[in-house]
Amino acid sequence: MDGITGVPVLEVLLLAIAFLGVLVEIKTGGLGAGALLGLVAAAVFFGSQYVKGLVSIYQIALFLGGVLCIVIEMLAPTVGLLAGLGLAMMLYSVVLALGGDANAMYALLASVGLAIALFLLLLKRLPSSRLWQKVVLRDMSTAERGFVSAAPRETLLGQTGTAGTDLRPAGSATIGGVPVDVVSEGGYIPRGTPVTVVAVNGSRVVVRPCPVNPS
């Protein structure tokens, strides 16, 4: 029976199980259950396609090479490079095995979507591996933990300095002997003009020309 993609539903389900196995193995990192599930589903899929004469040894080898890259990544992490390459090889081999046309892409998207949906249902029940910890950022860089996005500049408020560049309206000014990125409150301010800091919003320092004292 063909699905909405023109590809038999059974093949889409087998691919979904294979991709689910990859996701489970990345999450658990070496328990083997995900790898076994994925390899069995992939073997059935590629085996049936090979019997029908729809795939070649090259496509099967490409898929297995992708699996090998992911396994190496889990054993000797390389900041995700091998995992990304392996996943790309697997997806490309599947597209070729499905015919390499638009229907193949639709079937691939359907199987990946189904695998992700099933994986999300299992996510909280699975232990985490080192590779998974790298894929998912768990810690937050908060102010309470000592992280700040920029050095506080509130102390600059009210200080005077000199425009080090033309402010159009952004540029640089020397305040307290230190170059500071600033923006003018109004329009253009020529270089060398004395300026005063009138507002500080985070890392944004707003200046205006100093009033000219009457002689």
Question: In which region does residue 110 sit, left (phi positive, over 0), alpha (psi from -120 to 50) or beta (all else)?
Answer: alpha
Helices assigned H by DSSP within the chain: 9-28, 33-51, 57-75, 81-97, 102-122, 130-135
Comparing 33-37, 94-98, 124-128, 174-178, the range with the smallest average pLDDT is 124-128
pLDDT higher for 33 or 199? 199
pLDDT of residue 134: 47
pLDDT number for residue 213: 61
Question: pTM for the full model?
Answer: 0.47
CATH architecture of residue range(s) 154-209:
Beta Barrel (2.40)
Taking only the tens place, the pLDDT of each residue in 189-203 is 899 999 999 988 877
pLDDT(146) > 60? no
| Burial classification of residue 90, based on how many CB atoms lie within 10 Å of its CB (0-12 exposed, 13-18 middle, 19 or more buried) | buried
| Domain regions of the chain by residue span | 9-135, 154-209
What letters, b where the CB count within 10 A reaches 16 and e where it falls short, cover 7-34?
Answer: beeebbbbbbbbbbbbbbbbbbbeeeeb
H and E: helices and strands count for the chain: 6, 5
Sign of the C-alpha dihedral computed for residues 106, 109, 115 and 119 taken in this order: negative
Higher pLDDT, residue 27 or 134: 27
What DSSP string runs through 36-74? Answer: HHHHHHHHHHHHHHHHTT---HHHHHHHHHHHHHHHHHH
Rounded average pLDDT over 126-138: 49
Tokens 């003018």 correspond to 184
pLDDT-derived band at 101 (thresholds 50, 70, 90) equals: confident
